[in-house]
Amino acid sequence: MLNMEALSALAAEAGFTHSAPLDVATLELKDEVRAMCSANTCRAYGKNWSCPPACGELEDLRQKFAQYSRGILVQTVGEVEDSLDFEGMMEAEAAHKEHFAALHEKLLETWPGLLALGAGTCTRCKECTYPDAPCRFPDKRVSSMEACGLVVMDTCKANGLGYYYGPQSIAYTSCFLLE
Ligand code: SF4
């Protein structure tokens, strides 16, 4: 049984603004989200080991997810001037990735077999080795929730976590499947 109070304290310590218990049964891996990846609007499709198609088939991911029942959803809400404030968005995303890396390290001490799902493509290396050479850090590589076919807003809703905090806010969400 997870101690959610202790877990949310760890999340806050890592810098996240919000967190919520995650019921893994609510995670729906959808083919249509994968189809959006292949439209390549984010320009990461087929360019990174953490993204489709390299990150694996949804059926294999479903089997992986089935090994877990509970975890934690974590979120960083940043401020932006408006919907065109790309600098503000990038700052919030960078902060979220920092929080995520800090909590990931911490949680691995107790749950070495955890499954971490991030936000956005893996940016650990300046340039990804895909597809010419193996990933440099396969143990630390993290795929995004979307790359796994998840609709982030639906996942938040199903687990009682907010998603939209107003026009001058932007939220980045990730999760850890723990046990
Ligand atoms: S760790 Fe490096 S090589 Fe591996 S997926 Fe991330 S960016 Fe690519």
pLDDT average, residue stretch 102-128: 95
Domain boundaries, the chain: 4-177
CA separation for the pair 69, 114 (Å, rounded): 11
Residue 54: predicted pLDDT:
94
161 close to 73: Cβ distance less than 8 angstroms? yes
Residue % of the chain over a pLDDT of 70: 100
Atom of ligand 1 nearest to the CA of 136: 3
Ligand 1 test: best mutation among 45, 49, 126, most atoms within 8 Å of CB? 49
Average the pLDDT over each of 42-46, 105-109, 143-147 and give the range with the smallest value: 42-46
Instruction: Write out the two tokens for 22.
Output: 């995650």
Q: How far is the CA of 32 from the centre of ligand 1 (A)?
A: 25
- What is the pTM for the complete model shown? 0.93
Per-residue pLDDT reduced to its tens digit, 131-174: 999 999 998 899 999 999 999 999 999 999 999 999 999 999 99
145 close to 175: Cβ distance less than 8 angstroms? yes
When comparing pLDDT for 151 and 40, which is higher?
A: 151
